[in-house]
Amino acid sequence: MDSIKVFCPATIANISCGFDVLGLALDTVGDLMTVKKQQEKGIEILEVTGQDLPKEAHRNVAGVAGMALLQQADYNGGFSISIDKKIKAGSGIGSSAASSAGAVWAMNELLGKPFTRRQLVEFAMEGERLASGVAHADNVAPALFGGFTLIRSYNPLDIIHISPPGELVATVIHPQIEIKTSDSRKILKTTISLEDGIKQWGNLGGLIAGLYTQDYDLIGRSLEDHIVEPIRSILIPGFDALKKHSLEAGALGCGISGSGPSVYALSRSLATAKEVAAAMKTVYDKLGIAYDLHVSEIGKSGVRVASPSEANFN
């Protein structure tokens, strides 16, 4: 196999009480990417559609992630990459991570899978370093593992994969405003009260328990964030209304996706997730804010070979 076309999922990081540690992969929202072996060494970005991104490999996250992999690979050639970006940059649903993760996953397949998923995460983190200045795994981990991922520790990198409860569906609304990850991080305080900390790890414990036992009520009760959401939500227009109406429409929980501005909700069925989407739509229609709206199941596999319908779509 010399060529592969992959689906690179959008991801939700910082899931409420899981700030900096818990993320999930979406099933039907993501980019498409074609990766081909070539004799020439290094990475060549052949084409980027859907978005204006650098084509020089060292300035493109897929290129940088790919080069990190090539440095460790027993392979004398290189790869060409064509990317069809569907996830908007700065959306807060892991646009750069999708490209980084997709590139290294595809290359690993073409080389006969010499690397573990954990190693692929480490390569993809180099793409995140280019994108945001920090080699974080919040989005590349769920993009590569699928389902939910808990990053227990960075040193050493310890990622726990959790299969998603089958009935869980995500709704994501992306207001067309820009918040830079770096700005969004700057407004956070560097200290928190011990009391809020205890609430946060109590909730994260509850959420992880809910995911393993498929206890949707517990998942809902645990989707709280007393630390980051009260601060960052100020940057997101209509956040309180989005959350209120999502919960009234039946969502289990609702919070900020990544560092925003996207807002996510989790629901217990596709029907409810669609009602939540309608409720979110109403809020932004009233406020006159442009948005993208997604409803997706949780992706079980992360990056994967594109399905025939996805492949034809491009």
With a CB cutoff of 8 Å and minimum separation 6, the contacts of 205 are: 222
Q: Is 171 a catalytic residue?
A: no
Among 187, 157, 171, smallest CA distance to 274 is for: 171
3-class DSSP state of 167: coil
Report how far residue 197's alpha carbon sits from residue 98's, in angstroms, rounded to the nearest whole number. 31
Provide the minimum distance between the beta carbon of 226 and a copy of itself in the complex, in angstroms, as a whole number: 11
Find the part of the chain contacting a copy of itself (CB under 8 A) among 23-31, 62-70, 128-136, 183-191: 183-191
What residues from 235 to 264 belong to the interface with a copy of itself (CB under 8 A)? Answer: none
Provide the minimum distance between the beta carbon of 72 and a copy of itself in the complex, in angstroms, as a whole number: 24
Is residue 17 at the binding interface for a copy of itself, with CB under 8 A as the rule? Answer: yes
Is residue 203 at the binding interface for a copy of itself, with CB under 8 A as the rule? Answer: yes
Report how far residue 292's alpha carbon sits from residue 172's, in angstroms, rounded to the nearest whole number. 8
* Cα diameter, the chain: 58
Which helix (H) or strand (E) is 198 found in, with range?
helix 194-213
Q: Is 11 a catalytic residue?
A: no
Is residue 150 at the binding interface for a copy of itself, with CB under 8 A as the rule? Answer: yes
Is residue 151 at the binding interface for a copy of itself, with CB under 8 A as the rule? Answer: yes
Residue pair 285/312 in contact by the 8 Å Cβ criterion: no
Of 120 and 227, CB closest to a copy of itself: 227
Among 9, 18, 30, 63, binds a copy of itself (CB under 8 A): 18
Of 114 and 230, CB closest to a copy of itself: 230
Q: What is the dihedral of CA 208, 213, 216, 218, to 10 degrees?
A: -60
Is residue 216 at the binding interface for a copy of itself, with CB under 8 A as the rule? Answer: no
Is residue 201 at the binding interface for a copy of itself, with CB under 8 A as the rule? Answer: yes
Q: Please, is 52 exposed, middle or buried when counting C-beta atoms within 10 Å of its C-beta (0-12, 13-18, 19+)?
A: exposed
With a CB cutoff of 8 Å and minimum separation 6, the contacts of 186 are: none
With a CB cutoff of 8 Å and minimum separation 6, the contacts of 259 are: 14, 92, 179, 181, 184, 185, 232
Is residue 213 at the binding interface for a copy of itself, with CB under 8 A as the rule? Answer: yes
Phi, psi of 245 (to 5 degrees): -70, -30
Is residue 20 at the binding interface for a copy of itself, with CB under 8 A as the rule? Answer: yes
Is residue 141 at the binding interface for a copy of itself, with CB under 8 A as the rule? Answer: no
Is residue 194 at the binding interface for a copy of itself, with CB under 8 A as the rule? Answer: yes
Of 90 and 253, CB closest to a copy of itself: 253
Provide the minimum distance between the beta carbon of 129 and a copy of itself in the complex, in angstroms, as a whole number: 19
Of 131 and 227, CB closest to a copy of itself: 227
Neighbours of 255 (CB within 10 A): 26
Among 53, 83, 98, 204, binds a copy of itself (CB under 8 A): 204
Judged by the rule CB under 8 A, the positions of this chain that interact with a copy of itself are 17-22, 150-153, 158, 160, 162, 188-195, 197-209, 212-213, 218, 221-222, 227
